[in-house]
Amino acid sequence: MQSVTAIRHAIEAGERTPKEAVGAALNGIAAADAGVGAFEHVGDRDVILATAGRSKGPLAGIAVGVKDIFDTHDMPTGYGTPIYAGHKPRTDAAVVAMLRRAGATIVGKTVTTPYAFLDPAGTRNPLNQHHTPGGSSSGSAAAVAAGMVPAAIGTQTGGSVIRPAAFCGVSGYKPSFRLVPTVGFKTFSWTLDTVGFFAAKAADVAALAGAATGRALAVDAFEDSAPRIGLYRSGAWNEASRDMQEALAAVAERAANAGARVTDIAEPAELSAAREAHSLIQNFEAALALSDEFDRFADRMSAKLVEALQSGRNTPPEQYDQARRIARRARTISHSLFEEVDILLTPSAPDAAPEGLESTGSPIFAKLWTLTGNPCVNLTAGYNAAGLPLGVQTVAAFGRDAAALSGAHWLERLH
């Protein structure tokens, strides 16, 4: 994999130019994408290299893949569906513009599942092409894992950043809710949709997101002392495979041996209820957000998406309002989880990437934190017998994004 921090150090040392770094990414896409299918569209090479040659800022030389759910003024944006084939927005999504201003070079649009929902989109896991890369940010995670680009962006409404990052063995960072603007991407659920970032390791994804947002996200919070870690076996714990449970326990043991104070954290009933409320909120809002598409193009949608939208349309507003009250209580209660710990450690997904391309996997271990808005970072805890990564996530208190990133970085260095 390419490293954001290594590329930046090489450029600062005069060992390579931004144009050369971006050119290497384009070469990587040309060499690897035929087998993986991570990119929906790649820009004109000459234009991209000319742009990279003029780039300035902390992300100069960093080639970025943009999930095809974000608007881009210079590339088509199809939202993963033929309904929008050839659609060309006039302006960039806010986060795309932020990346460009920081010096990043947008090299192409990565594959998304249709409307960033659960239906697979054809991208293969570069670690084993017979397995799913996860979704909905399938192409973004796969492009980084395959070494095509050092960085990519995606979105998460349930588990669409953390899960593909786990399946592909890369760092995926879902920020605190609304830390990064969602202006300019196709809305699915406005109280859940969150922009996310992909890179090789926690230090790389922190550098990427910090430069794009201008926020202090550097991974140095635990340089002088070990973090206090809460081992969070949620109400969904039985959904985790034995491999996943053992991988999480092994990370916790390494952390304790390195000086971390590790304690068990029980899941409050309010958070269990919130996990169950997630789908109702998501589907109700999606039915409104995609109301026109559903009315006019339902025959061109998958059965799974139609079922979800119809469920949302059939949900009375009073039930939606009650689910929102459950979510509000959960957000309040979630603060209490961090009274004695800096970060929580919990699975990113039930297991390693499932075999086959018929499913993108389950978001059950990620969707609660999307609903509560807590920052999360995936890291690889180990590997199963087939050599596929087992991802766990660090979760921090709302607004404590640097702690989630620093905790993941600290744990990565214990391997």
Residue 144 tokens read as 């980084």
> How many whole angstroms separate alpha carbon 154 and alpha carbon 297?
25
Q: Which among 19, 55, 109, 136 is annotated as catalytic?
A: 136
CB 376 within 8 A of CB 162: yes
On the question of pLDDT at 104 being above 90, the answer is yes
3-state secondary structure 285-328: HHHHHCHHHHHHHHHHCCHHHHHHHHHHHHCCHHHHHHHHHHHH
Q: Which among 55, 137, 140, 160 is annotated as catalytic?
A: 160
- CATH architecture of the domain with residue range 4-213: Alpha-Beta Complex (3.90)
Residues 6+ apart with CB under 8 A from 269: none
- pLDDT for position 415: 79
Which run of H or E residues covers position 320? helix 317-334
Would you state the torsion angle of the CA atoms of residues 197, 201, 206, 207, taken in this order, to the nearest 10 degrees?
-100
Would you state the torsion angle of the CA atoms of residues 180, 168, 262, 157, taken in this order, to the nearest 10 degrees?
40
3-state secondary structure 56-107: CCCCCCCEEEEECCECCCCCCCCCCCHHHCCCCCCCCCHHHHHHHHCCCEEE
CB 340 within 8 A of CB 228: yes
- pLDDT for position 4: 98
pLDDT digits (tens, 9 = 90+) for 208-221: 999 999 999 999 88
> How many whole angstroms separate alpha carbon 161 and alpha carbon 145?
13
Which run of H or E residues covers position 380? strand 376-383
Looking at the chain, the number of H-run helices and the number of E-run strands are: 14, 11
Residues 6+ apart with CB under 8 A from 54: none
- pLDDT for position 307: 98
pLDDT digits (tens, 9 = 90+) for 335-382: 999 999 999 999 999 999 999 999 999 999 999 999 999 999 999 999
What is the number of other CB atoms lying within 10 angstroms of the CB of residue 48?
A: 22
In the sheet that holds 376-383, the strands lie side by side as: 39-42, 105-110, 63-67, 151-156, 194-199, 171-174, 376-383, 389-395, 343-347, 228-232, 261-265
DSSP code at position 185: B
- For residue 155, the SS3 value is strand
Radius of gyration of the chain (CA): 20
Mean pLDDT of 186-202: 98
pLDDT digits (tens, 9 = 90+) for 34-84: 999 999 999 999 999 999 999 999 999 999 999 999 999 999 999 999 999
Q: What integer best gives the mean pLDDT of the chain?
A: 97
- pLDDT for position 221: 81
137 is catalytic: no
Domain map (residue ranges) of the chain: 4-213
- pLDDT for position 346: 98
**Sign of the CA dihedral 303, 308, 309, 310?**
positive
Please report which confidence band the pLDDT of residue 33 belongs to, taking 50, 70 and 90 as the band edges: very high
> How many whole angstroms separate alpha carbon 157 and alpha carbon 155?
7
Q: Which among 19, 67, 186, 201 is annotated as catalytic?
A: 67
* Better-predicted residue by pLDDT, 415 or 309: 309
> How many whole angstroms separate alpha carbon 23 and alpha carbon 338?
44
Mean pLDDT of 165-169: 98
What is the number of other CB atoms lying within 10 angstroms of the CB of residue 310?
A: 14
CB 103 within 8 A of CB 57: yes
pLDDT digits (tens, 9 = 90+) for 291-322: 999 999 999 999 999 999 999 999 999 999 99
> How many whole angstroms separate alpha carbon 362 and alpha carbon 86?
31
406 is catalytic: no
Mean pLDDT of 156-170: 98
136 is catalytic: yes
pLDDT digits (tens, 9 = 90+) for 239-279: 999 999 999 999 999 999 999 999 999 999 999 999 999 99
- For 72, list phi and psi in degrees, rounded to 5: -135, 130
> How many whole angstroms separate alpha carbon 413 and alpha carbon 415?
5
DSSP code at position 131: B
Paired strand residues for 402: none
- pLDDT for position 222: 87
- For residue 186, the SS3 value is coil
On the question of pLDDT at 334 being above 90, the answer is yes
Q: What percent of the chain has pLDDT over 70?
A: 100
Please report which confidence band the pLDDT of residue 150 belongs to, taking 50, 70 and 90 as the band edges: very high
> How many whole angstroms separate alpha carbon 349 and alpha carbon 245?
11
Please report which confidence band the pLDDT of residue 223 belongs to, taking 50, 70 and 90 as the band edges: confident
**Sign of the CA dihedral 120, 121, 125, 128?**
positive
